[in-house]
């Protein structure tokens, strides 16, 4: 895929950029920034090491194979003393959430998920440090796969059959990201998304902040480029107030899609594309589009699926 303003690795492959920037999952490759200035496009190679002093991280971080949870907490305290890592997020109660509500704005919560909290990769540490650096007073809610399943069991037991039936961790993480924003609010970001400015600088009087990933002239063009919608929405970073309908109805959207697949209504031989439709940016774009159509039909976006 490609997107306007993306960061691209020297080895190929594109990575997302909006209010944030990203870099390759390997964490040591060079990233390439693309910027439009007066209609022209400039590029600049940015080694990962260049970000370390910005976020007050040690110079040897990229040489470390893993960083433990305890080390992460120490590192982030240096980056931003007024920042909290919540490594047992299921013990975080309603009172804790209420204490982080910003008057008229988003909750001061940042949601991340990793496979192993004690084996954090260099790029994940840099990612979390960037969010800490720009967002004093925020709490980072760090989930792993066990936390995510406990979250679903505790708050959405009616959706557990759908959740457990999803065929990959990627799909289960997709489903959780929408519902954790429904339940708690705040910002969700993938573990390769680096903050570029404070959340407080984002629009604060909206219930939901969503970026447009790309726009194509036809659905066929979108599908050729491995996108799912003519106008596709970003889901690698989402900001929402607690209880917003676009995120809250995603559980039912996914459950219905899974049921329709089981009934043979949608057959996609491309497994990766099917995932994008089932839990990823395809079905997410549909939810955003439906909300726009419901509340402001005059500004309805053309978000026709490319696989139906």
Burial degree of 18 (CB within 10 A; 0-12, 13-18, 19+) = buried
118 occurs within a structural domain? yes
- Mean pLDDT of all residues in 265-272: 74
304 occurs within a structural domain? no
307 occurs within a structural domain? no
- Is the separation of the CB atoms in 139 and 145 below 8 Å? no
Q: Two tokens at 73?
A: 């907490």
How do residues 174-214 score in pLDDT, each as one tens digit?
Answer: 999 999 999 999 999 999 888 888 998 887 778 899 988 88
1 occurs within a structural domain? no
308 occurs within a structural domain? no
207 occurs within a structural domain? yes
2 occurs within a structural domain? no
Residue 52 has what DSSP assignment? T
For the ranges 141-150, 190-199, 218-227, 238-247, the lowest mean pLDDT is seen at: 218-227
pLDDT exceeds 50 at position 306: no
- Mean pLDDT of all residues in 134-161: 96
Show the domain range for 214. Answer: 7-299
User: Of residues 291 and 299, which shows the higher confidence score?
Assistant: 291
Highest mean pLDDT among 64-68, 105-109, 196-200: 64-68
Give the model's confidence band at 230: pLDDT under 50 very low, under 70 low, under 90 confident, else very high: confident
- Is the separation of the CB atoms in 305 and 223 below 8 Å? no
Please, what is the average pLDDT of the chain?
81
Predicted pLDDT at 45: 59
How do residues 30-63 score in pLDDT, each as one tens digit?
Answer: 334 444 444 444 455 567 788 899 999 999 999 9
Cα 90 to the center of its chain, rounded Å: 20
For residue 214, the cross-strand partners are 232
Confidence (pTM): 0.83
**% pLDDT > 90, the chain:** 53
Please give the tally of structural domains in the chain. 1
CA distance 214 to 212: 6
Give the model's confidence band at 98: pLDDT under 50 very low, under 70 low, under 90 confident, else very high: confident
Strands (E), the chain: 7-9, 14-15, 20-22, 31-37, 40-46, 84-86, 109-113, 139-143, 186-189, 193-195, 208-209, 212-215, 231-233, 237-240
3-state SS assignment for residue 131: helix
Q: Quick one: CA dihedral 143, 60, 15, 170, positive or negative?
A: negative
305 occurs within a structural domain? no
């Amino acid at each position: 895929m490609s997107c306007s303003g993306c960061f691209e690795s020297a080895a190929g492959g594109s990575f997302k950029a909006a209010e944030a920037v990203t870099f390759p999952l390997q964490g040591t490759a060079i990233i390439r920034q693309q910027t439009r200035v007066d209609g022209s496009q400039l590029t600049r190679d940015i080694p990962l090491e260049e970000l370390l002093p910005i976020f007050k991280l040690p110079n040897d971080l990229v040489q470390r194979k893993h960083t433990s949870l305890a080390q992460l907490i120490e590192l982030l305290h240096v980056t931003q003393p007024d920042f909290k890592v919540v490594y047992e997020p299921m013990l975080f109660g309603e009172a804790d959430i209420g204490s982080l509500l910003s008057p008229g704005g988003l909750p001061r919560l940042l949601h991340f998920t990793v496979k192993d909290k004690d084996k954090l990769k260099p790029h994940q540490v840099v990612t979390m440090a960037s969010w800490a650096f720009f967002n004093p007073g925020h709490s980072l809610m760090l989930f792993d796969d066990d936390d995510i399943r406990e979250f679903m069991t505790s708050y959405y037991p009616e959706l557990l059959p759908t959740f457990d039936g999803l065929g990959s961790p990627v799909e289960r993480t997709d489903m959780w990201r929408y519902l954790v924003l429904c339940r708690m609010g705040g910002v969700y970001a993938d573990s390769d998304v680096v903050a570029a400015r404070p959340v407080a600088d984002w629009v604060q009087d909206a219930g939901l902040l969503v970026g447009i990933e790309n726009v194509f002239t036809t659905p066929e063009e979108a599908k050729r480029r491995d996108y799912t919608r003519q106008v596709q929405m970003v889901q690698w970073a989402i900001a929402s107030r607690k209880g917003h309908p676009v995120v809250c109805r995603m559980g039912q959207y996914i459950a219905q899609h899974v049921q329709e697949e089981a009934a043979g209504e949608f057959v996609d031989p491309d497994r990766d594309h099917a995932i994008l439709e089932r839990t990823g940016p395809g079905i997410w774009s549909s939810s955003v589009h439906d909300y726009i159509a419901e509340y402001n039909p005059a500004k309805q976006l053309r978000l026709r699926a490319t696989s139906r």
